[in-house]
Structure 1
Amino acid sequence: MRALKQLVRFGWQQALSCLFPVVIFASLAITQIIPLPFLSRYDWLLIICLLMQWGMLRTGLETRDELKVITLFHLIGLALEVFKVHMGSWAYPEEGYSKVFGVPLYSGFMYASVASYLCQAWRRLRVELVEWPPFWLVVPLASAIYLNFFTHHYWVDIRWLLSGLIMIVFWRSWVLYEVGGTRYRMPIALSFVLIGFFIWVAENIATFFGAWEYPNQTDAWSLVHLGKVSSWLLLVIVSFLIVATLKRVKGRESFEMDAGRFL
């Protein structure tokens, strides 16, 4: 019974942390079923995302520091979207005033929602990192993963090499988290795989409701290829590395400020 209760507690904390992604998926479903007046679907989705972001900040569900991280992910995701749409990897076929280079601005919030989940879960589950690699390893690795999303169109795709480097760099790393007052731990590489898999599941839901469209989904919706899990896995790692680095920098600054006040 205790294990079941802990599982329910963990699921509830995860659900609360996924509030932003849930709103996005609900909005995709509703606007697909019920056309809204005056503006296009993409424009309404952008307005909903902006209102959701404002509401989370106003109610304290997100802090100003977390908003800065989420905004960074919005920009990173939007840059990737513009490039991928230009290369024909996927498309946004509907019209809208809020489209830039063929990409609706609401799409950046789908990446930002991943950062929102990480920030929320980090705080709710009191996440701590054990044997975290040094800064000089983390930053180049995250940069190489992100750049590979662009360069593999012109050069060799090195995602599997990068995946191998991740296993080596994070071999001894663990993530500690708390549920109901009890501390648990998980290999950090496993957490990457789990998050990447569930984002792939979310991607299937999103494409079903017309968030975007892959070339093989032009005539009719079909399951997103399982190989996309590797892409989401790498993107999650970039997200996690950025959030973890910023959290550690922020924690170090807070510690130094507290030490200064004590002295």
Structure 2
Amino acid sequence: MKPRETTRFAAIRARLETFEPRAGIYAWLYEFALFGFKQGWACLFGGLMLALLVGTHLFYPADAALARYDFLTLAALGIQIAMLALRLETWGEAKVILAFHVVGTVMELFKTAYGSWIYPEASILRIGAVPLFSGFMYAAVGSYIARVWRIFDFRFTAYPPRWATWVLAVAIYVNFFTHHWLPDVRMALFAAMIALFARTRIYFTVWREPRWMPLLVGWLLVALFIWFAENLGTVARAWTYPDQAHGWAMVSPAKLGAWYLLMYISFVLVSWVATIRAPFVSAAPPTQQAV
């Protein structure tokens, strides 16, 4: 990694990884705690955004001169600038986040025009019916994936051809739009994802020893976490779905499917600047060649 691409967290992580707890259960508990700390650090942008959504819902003055949504936009921009200035995020990751902002805002413009969800509060910093802070919520997903990829040193076996992953990502993105007037082909898209990634393992290093899980399972876990965050976002009235017009209701678990597909698009976008690497020889399964 080039020096200019090194974040301040790198030194902290190095110190934590050289700590020597007692063997046995103590080492296991330390690795578990380190996993939670690294995940929390990777979620920094998203966690701050979620805190802003909930905090402004509870405490933002109703008669403030600056609309709540506009405050959220300026605060999100401030967080992004601070993370770069303090070297908590690399410039490569910032490029991905910008791509997420654009991709997310385009989708928001389309979906709000079709009434899929609405932003019920007034604001000045908006495009059409979409306040600009909404793009940062998509950027938070991109920030998490880019940061967790680096922090846990992601490596893969049986990763499919890159061109195939991009073709599928484009097809998924297009279906988010076209299903409003053409047949929804998301089941075929899910089948294509399984066909491409059924054998793909993701290796991640929390402390000393690489661990692995099926990549399809990893995406599901992240999509589930985002769905929980989405419920908090709607509680905070950051946006609302049609069935929440007269009071909050839990976001349908069916939305997990949409988040899973969006997770895939997010992952492929991050792979634009991240490296698809094979695991170390000692981590590769004996019956499967690392690619």
Structure 2 unaligned blocks of 5 or more:
1-24, 278-291
**Matches of residues 48-127 of structure 1 in structure 2 within 5 Å?**
48-127=75-154
Please tell me the residue identity of whatever aligns with 1:236. Answer: M
Contact 2:146 2:274 in 1 (8 A): no
Aligned mates of 1:33, 1:245 — CA distance in 2: 38
Contact 2:92 2:273 in 1 (8 A): no
Corresponding position: 1:131 with 2:158: yes
Match of 1:192 among 219, 224, 239: 219
Match of 1:16 among 23, 41, 44: 41
Please tell me the residue identity of whatever aligns with 2:46. Answer: P
Count of matched residue positions in the alignment of Structure 1 and Structure 2: 250
TM-score normalised by structure 1 residue count: 0.92
SS in 2 for 1:176: strand
How well do the aligned residues superpose, as a CA RMSD in angstroms? 1.2
Corresponding position: 1:218 with 2:253: no
Aligned mates of 2:126, 2:271 — CA distance in 1: 32
Corresponding position: 1:30 with 2:42: no
- Identify the residue that residue 236 of structure 1 maps to in structure 2: 263
SS in 1 for 2:46: helix
- Identify the residue that residue 280 of structure 2 maps to in structure 1: none
Structure 1 unaligned blocks of 5 or more:
252-263
SS in 2 for 1:233: helix
Once the 2 structures are TM-superposed, how far is the Cα of residue 247 of structure 1 from its aligned partner?
A: 1.3
Match of 1:4 among 9, 15, 29: 29
Once the 2 structures are TM-superposed, how far is the Cα of residue 127 of structure 1 from its aligned partner?
A: 1.0
Mean CA deviation greater in 126-135 or 54-63? 126-135
- Identify the residue that residue 201 of structure 2 maps to in structure 1: 174
Once the 2 structures are TM-superposed, how far is the Cα of residue 74 of structure 1 from its aligned partner?
A: 0.4
Mean CA deviation greater in 202-211 or 3-12? 3-12
User: What whole-Å deviation, never above 9, does each CA across 1:6-47 have from its counterpart, x for those lacking one?
Assistant: 221111100011111111111111211122432100000001
Please tell me the residue identity of whatever aligns with 1:162. Answer: L
Once the 2 structures are TM-superposed, how far is the Cα of residue 5 of structure 1 from its aligned partner?
A: 2.2
User: What whole-Å deviation, never above 9, does each CA across 1:123-152 have from its counterpart, x for those lacking one?
Assistant: 111111222111221111000011110000
SS in 2 for 1:184: strand
- Identify the residue that residue 233 of structure 2 maps to in structure 1: 206
User: What whole-Å deviation, never above 9, does each CA across 1:159-211 have from its counterpart, x for those lacking one?
Assistant: 11101110110011111110112211111110111111111111001110111
Richer in helix (by share): 1
- Identify the residue that residue 285 of structure 2 maps to in structure 1: none
TM-score normalised by structure 2 residue count: 0.84
Aligned mates of 1:163, 1:3 — CA distance in 2: 36
